Amino acid sequence: TMGNWLVNHWFSAAVLAAWLGINIFLFTYYFLFFDRDERYFYTRAILGSALAWARASAKCLNFNSMLILLPVCRNLLSFLRGTCSCCRRTLRKQLDHNLTFHKLVAYALALLTAVHTIAHLFNLECYNQSQQASDSSLPAVLSKMHLQGSKWLNPIHSNQTTVEYVAFTTIPGLTGVIITLALILMVTSSTEFIRRNYFELFWYTHHLFLVYFTGLVIHGIAGLVRGQTEQSMAEVHPYDCAEYLTQREQNCTHSCCKDPEFGSIPAESWKWVLAPIILYVFERLLRVWRAQQKVVVKKVVMHPARVLELQMQKKGFCMEVGQYIFINCPAISPLEWHPFTLTSAPEEDFFSIHIRAAGDWTERLINTFQLETPRVEVDGPFGTASEDVFQYEVAMLVGAGIGVTPFASILKSIWYKFQQGDQTLKTKKIYFYWLCRDTGAFAWFNDLLASLEQKMAESGKAGFLTYRLFLTGWDTSIANNVALHFDTATDTVTGLRHKTIFGRPMWNTEFAAVAAAHPRSVVGVFLCGPEALAKSLQKSCHQHSSLDPRKVKFYFNKENF
């Protein structure tokens, strides 16, 4: 299993190792630098090792802040997918892990922020104690240097100052509090539960990233943490002169009589994040420009189980199977954009989406379309894993509930390819699995499957598509009805030739059957569904893939928004 994992995920592992390696290197290098460098000898006399903890975590925070925006530049990812269409499948597939990497970097930011904040709280406490000390110790002497003009090392200049006062009145303190709060809100509101049930909350709080980056750029400007200047180091080196600071004579004539001078560490965060911010600004401008292009809603269909189908046209719109678009309806909310997978095929003269009522925004959209046809704005299309479906000889498509939408596009496209007698179709066999809770959700998809069934039979390729429909939520009345009509040629639930199976699939059995039927094939497994199902399928892919390169291999792909 470990061997299979490495075969399928070597590039992901390499990227993860590189990211971890750079973080470890930056932290270790700057920790040792600030813990040993002579310029910070006097700063360490007051702060101890908390200085190194604060500065090392700051470097890693800058590095991860530089990375956090890149995985959410949708146009950049689509461009990269296009440019490496000739690359190996393994390489292209890594771009579908963009949100996983985005979350990983976000969690790293949260951890590093905690380290950085705790270290600076220790620093402020040390600064405060040194300022209030009345003895002739080195920290106390260094803390009184502000009385001699601009030579100060300790930013706290009064015995009445508290740590809380510094935290809320200085630029580093205030921006630190603000960006920490923004980060906490962004991380906590992006949990799976909130994204699925309160998307608006997730959407709006995530835009606090504007506050985060603004605060980050301003954070280090004041330069409260200081070190000895190069000129002062040459004149009064701390290794030679530190002891004279605490026991200086009145009429001192020694070369160490001169006080050391200190300078701020220049603000650096902007250097790290400037390029990603510029890239992201271009990304947003491109989205705004594309959103302004006119969209014509050609047809509105209301399917059972409150599923709304929109058929639209837009000048210059060019799609591939399994891609998705972002939809905005200004009449409902001028700022909210929601992702929907395209259910149309590239061969059709329109593009369509199916929207299920799942949350406030979709409910309002469906209600609005039942009364009138409001103006909609479209951004996209954007590429996801399903674009690669025709690159595999054998494809296993797994859709859960409304997650069937990308596969509607694929199956339609196959239908058109058969109609047009496309000889370039690399795919020889498709296995399609649809898991659904209620019978109503099958209704809008039945016509497509029925016509496809007929088309395959007419062209003598009835064996090309094997589909299995699993009803995971059912009651006694449905079971009784099925028992009564067990011998009929078509299914009582869907009206199709293939019978509906009650319960959940036994994935080990399904994968074993596919592996036995195609012992030397590369099989693409495509899922649009929940995380628990993804883990189960991923496990089956690893278990049933052979280490022998000449034998069956299963490659897992998942839709990500």
Q: How many residues does the chain have?
A: 561
Flag whether pLDDT at 443 surpasses 80: no
Domain count, the chain: 3
Q: State the pLDDT confidence band at 304, using cuts at 50, 70 and 90.
A: confident
Residues 6+ apart with CB under 8 A from 14: none
Tell me, yes or no, whether 163 and 137 share the same domain.
yes
Q: For the CA atoms of the chain, what is the radius of gyration?
A: 31
Report the percent of the chain where pLDDT is more than 70: 86
The pLDDT value given to residue 486: 43
The pLDDT value given to residue 70: 92
Q: What is the CATH number of the domain that holds 409?
A: 3.40.50.80
The pLDDT value given to residue 549: 76
| Domain end (from 382, 407, 437) | 382
Q: Which one of 35-49, 187-201, 422-436 scores highest in mean pLDDT?
A: 35-49
Tell me, yes or no, whether 21 and 146 share the same domain.
yes
Tell me, yes or no, whether 335 and 476 share the same domain.
no
Q: State the pLDDT confidence band at 148, using cuts at 50, 70 and 90.
A: low
The pLDDT value given to residue 45: 92
| Domain end (from 382, 408, 434) | 382
Q: 205-219 pLDDT, tens per residue?
A: 999 999 999 999 999
Q: What is the CATH number of the domain that holds 351?
A: 2.40.30.10
With respect to residue 226, please indicate whether it lies within any of the assigned structural domains.
yes
With respect to residue 47, please indicate whether it lies within any of the assigned structural domains.
yes
Give just the sign of the alpha carbon dihedral 485, 486, 488, 493.
Answer: positive
Q: Rounded distance, CA 146 to CA 155, Å?
A: 8
Q: Which is more confidently placed, 194 or 444? A: 194
| Whole-prediction pTM | 0.78
| Domain end (from 382, 414, 449) | 382
Tell me, yes or no, whether 371 and 439 share the same domain.
no
Tell me, yes or no, whether 367 and 414 share the same domain.
no
Tell me, yes or no, whether 142 and 232 share the same domain.
yes
The pLDDT value given to residue 21: 97
Residue 477 C-beta-side C-alpha neighbours within 13 Å = 2
With respect to residue 478, please indicate whether it lies within any of the assigned structural domains.
yes
With respect to residue 189, please indicate whether it lies within any of the assigned structural domains.
no
Q: 472-521 pLDDT, tens per residue?
A: 765 554 444 444 444 444 444 444 555 677 788 889 999 999 999 998 88
The pLDDT value given to residue 417: 78
Q: State the pLDDT confidence band at 454, using cuts at 50, 70 and 90.
A: confident
**Full domain range(s) for residue 378:** 294-382
Q: State the pLDDT confidence band at 250, using cuts at 50, 70 and 90.
A: low
| Own/partner pairs, 168-175, CB within 8 angstroms, 24+ separation | 170/222, 170/224, 171/218, 171/219, 171/221, 171/222, 172/219, 172/220, 172/222, 172/224, 175/215, 175/216, 175/218, 175/219
With respect to residue 217, please indicate whether it lies within any of the assigned structural domains.
no
Tell me, yes or no, whether 377 and 521 share the same domain.
no
Tell me, yes or no, whether 341 and 398 share the same domain.
no
Tell me, yes or no, whether 360 and 503 share the same domain.
no
Tell me, yes or no, whether 157 and 117 share the same domain.
yes
Tell me, yes or no, whether 451 and 538 share the same domain.
yes
With respect to residue 445, please indicate whether it lies within any of the assigned structural domains.
yes
The pLDDT value given to residue 375: 92
Number of neighbouring beta carbons within 10 Å of residue 280: 19
Flag whether pLDDT at 11 surpasses 80: no
Tell me, yes or no, whether 33 and 158 share the same domain.
yes
Q: 52-92 pLDDT, tens per residue?
A: 999 999 999 999 999 999 999 888 887 777 666 555 555 66
With respect to residue 208, please indicate whether it lies within any of the assigned structural domains.
no
With respect to residue 364, please indicate whether it lies within any of the assigned structural domains.
yes
